[in-house]
Amino acid sequence: MNLPTYECNEHQFVENLRRLIESHLKVIVNRTLVHYDDGRYSLSFIPEEEFTKFQSIATRTKVRSSVYANKPFLDEYHRTLYVDGDSLSSAKYPHARRLSIPYVRVEYSFSVWGDLYKYSFDGLFQPEIKISKRKLPRSRNITKTGVGKDNDGRTLIHTLNFLIPDDKALQLSLPKSVLVFDVRRMLRG
């Protein structure tokens, strides 16, 4: 049996909770955190202030334009090597599998009298770009890029890693009398 579901914005969700608390009902809120990497957020479509975090390894002319690597780098999260000029994200073909930004889908929900109320939002992983020594995959020919190897076969290269968003950014400000249960799931697309 499916419950009737009501999608709420943040204000509606908190206001509905406040009304239930004022009527002296006990409310349990479920918070579900699901990690996704399904290509929903690509470098072509993020706002300029978010794209500035990637400018040391990528270039684009404007929002909703194609994004290209401007130097060789290793994406440690997806285990992919990109060389100078590789397409990272295409505005013309947005569903083409390129470099995507993983995110956490946060969903708050509660059920009362057979109705389900929920509010959800996404929190993007934060990029961490640094220079480090790594063994590179043999799948790409990097001799054309000018990247040299040392004696132990490791190369000094830019690396991109994604860090999980701060837990405070994934929380909703709820009344203190509300009990919140956390459910975490990990999905990679």
pLDDT digits (tens, 9 = 90+) for 157-167: 999 999 999 98
Tell me the β-bridge partners of 58. Answer: 69
Structural domain containing residue 160: 5-170+182-186
pLDDT value of position 92: 77
- Residue 82 inside a domain? The answer is yes
- Residue 83 inside a domain? The answer is yes
List, in order, residues 6 or more apart from 123 with CB less than 8 Å away. 103, 104, 106, 165, 169, 170
Residue type for position 25: L
Interatomic CA distance for residues 124 and 108, integer angstroms: 17
- Residue 68 inside a domain? The answer is yes
Question: Who has greater pLDDT, 146 or 173?
Answer: 173
- Please state, in angstroms and as integers, the Cα–Cα distance from residue 83 to each residue in 43, 62, 69, 128, 189, following that order: 16, 21, 7, 18, 23
Q: Across all residues in the chain, what is the average pLDDT?
A: 85
pTM of the model: 0.81
Domain count, the chain: 1
71 pLDDT tier (thresholds 50, 70, 90): very high
7 Cα distance to chain centroid:
22
- Residue 16 inside a domain? The answer is yes
pLDDT value of position 90: 84
- Residue 39 inside a domain? The answer is yes
- Residue 143 inside a domain? The answer is yes
- Residue 176 inside a domain? The answer is no
- Residue 177 inside a domain? The answer is no
